[in-house]
Chains A and B, each alone.
Chain A
């Protein structure tokens, strides 16, 4: 089954809106830097994975 991605916790949004919200309008947002952020996060992760093969010794 295909995974259904969400941007956060929709249940929490509903609970917060029902108890404390004043506007029914949600805001639709174009995530402007999704690619750059994804690339950066992957870069950090790849460096971390690669360090498993490190041959450095500190003593």
Chain B
């Protein structure tokens, strides 16, 4: 295990156990132990709403990336000291006689590491949440694609929890940008986490006079991603006019990132009580709600227009809230999708999963051209679903949902699919596709506004090579990433271009109607 996990697995120096049934009060506990912090109150509220019955509070020594952080702060503030470090774990079970061995991973609803920083020369004395992970709400309408597994020790025993790391700034060696980055990078980096020292070292290469506690510039954020080999798509709206905000709304970037498992950072301006001028803040977005009965997809406003007169219904239409953290206020919030006004958003970056070279937005646009162009040409009158799909595309009532997948993930999904008559795909065909497809793909799922929310099913997908950059040298080259379209009863594979028009080779599919959506 890398040193990046040392602080989670550190042996406790002492511990206390609290049973949380009334009259135990978190309000009293927080005020007695920590003072008044919104983020700490939120953490305890999450525990209470997750039916936590036991709190184990362990005092741990600084180690791993916390030792690094302390060294880095001391380098800037010589009178600094880390005067408190606590690992708190919340359990949905009352444990008898302090027997931690009675607990399992299923009992762990969340953990947090609280850190106290003091700088005697500056009269600075603050607690902050170095990190916290809480499991996703059990409500099935809460979707967290590709959650990360975090391992920790409690009472000398190993446990693990799935979720997405929440981190808070301390304004000393990290601000909102660094903590937002660490949240998302802990999921996509193969090593499972990153230290603030590493982020700040990379940022310093862009601006040598950089002060970490004041945050990151956009060029510094881009450099961090580039050095870590994480591809991304971003936009600075302060450089754009109102039309571009409309054509490339931040919600598209955010949803593309979170749906494919990389997540997104949304940077915005805000004004509030106590602020002399508008401040800038950035938060990580990592999940979404799925509201089956929402009215929005029926409204024209829900259509996403690629160009004049051509559009589709994006799958995000059934999302009313993003799931994200706000380091000022705590972890795991639902942030209404339309609450952050478009003109307040200054910057958004969609992170790609490792191996992915272009955006989910671009993948959906390519899929639209393929589907809308193919359907009038393939006949298929003997399959009623093709006929229906043709009707829906002519009215542009088609739902697209881009999913970044490994070859293995896609082939496993394809092998497991069953149509409405319980037909499965030919295993030999799946095997050949698995042998020939690139390591990473975009599978742009195709569905309709009735099928998608009600049954969580689809009519196929447009599969694109995600491992190659899009070639924008001319209108034709960009389509080189196309691999195939899978529609009810047929695969259509690309090939040569003749007289400016591509030729598609049909191959029968045993999946004749709608199938399940990809579950990540």
Most buried by A among B180, B482, B483, B502: B502
Q: Is B12 an interface residue (CB 8 A)?
A: no
Would you list which residues of chain A between 1 and 28 have a CB under 8 Å from chain B?
A: 3, 5-17, 19-23, 25-28
Q: Is B202 an interface residue (CB 8 A)?
A: no
Would you list which residues of chain A between 30 and 59 have a CB under 8 Å from chain B?
A: 30-45, 47-48, 50-59
In the complex, what residues of B have CB within 8 A of residue A37's CB? 306-307, 365-366, 368-369, 478
Q: Is B492 an interface residue (CB 8 A)?
A: yes
Per the bound structure, the CA–CA distance linking A53 and B504 in Å amounts to: 42
Per the bound structure, the CA–CA distance linking A9 and B507 in Å amounts to: 14
In the complex, what residues of A have CB within 8 A of residue B236's CB? 47, 50-51, 54, 56
Contact of A47 with B235 at beta-carbon distance under 8 Å, contacts A8-B479, A58-B347 already known: yes
Which 4 residue pairs of A and B lie closest in terms of their CB atoms, listed nearest first? A59-B215, A8-B494, A36-B307, A7-B502
Contact of A31 with B505 at beta-carbon distance under 8 Å, contacts A6-B480, A36-B307, A59-B214 already known: no
Q: A38 contacts B235, CB within 8 Å?
A: no
Residues of A in contact with B (beta carbons under 8 Å apart): 3, 5-17, 19-23, 25-45, 47-48, 50-59
Residue ID in chain A nearest B223 by CB atoms:
A52
In the complex, what residues of A have CB within 8 A of residue B480's CB? 5-8
Per the bound structure, the CA–CA distance linking A57 and B310 in Å amounts to: 36
Q: List 8 A-B contacts (CB under 8 A).
A: A9-B436, A9-B494, A27-B503, A29-B374, A37-B365, A48-B233, A51-B235, A57-B214
Per the bound structure, the CA–CA distance linking A48 and B437 in Å amounts to: 28
Per the bound structure, the CA–CA distance linking A20 and B502 in Å amounts to: 21
Taking A8-B480, A13-B504 as given, write out 7 further A-B residue pairs in contact, using a Cβ cutoff of 8 Å, ordered by the A residue number.
A5-B474, A5-B497, A17-B493, A33-B306, A41-B366, A56-B347, A58-B282
Q: Report the minimal beta-carbon distance from B326 to chain A, rounded to whole angstroms.
A: 13
Q: Is B470 an interface residue (CB 8 A)?
A: yes
Contact residue among B346, B361, B498, B508 (Cβ-Cβ distance under 8 Å from A20): B508
In the complex, what residues of A have CB within 8 A of residue B28's CB? none
Residue ID in chain A nearest B217 by CB atoms:
A57
In the complex, what residues of A have CB within 8 A of residue B470's CB? 41, 45
Contact residue among A5, A21, A45, A54 (Cβ-Cβ distance under 8 Å from B476): A5
Most buried by B among A12, A30, A35, A56: A56
Residue ID in chain A nearest B509 by CB atoms:
A20
Q: B494 contacts A7, CB within 8 Å?
A: yes
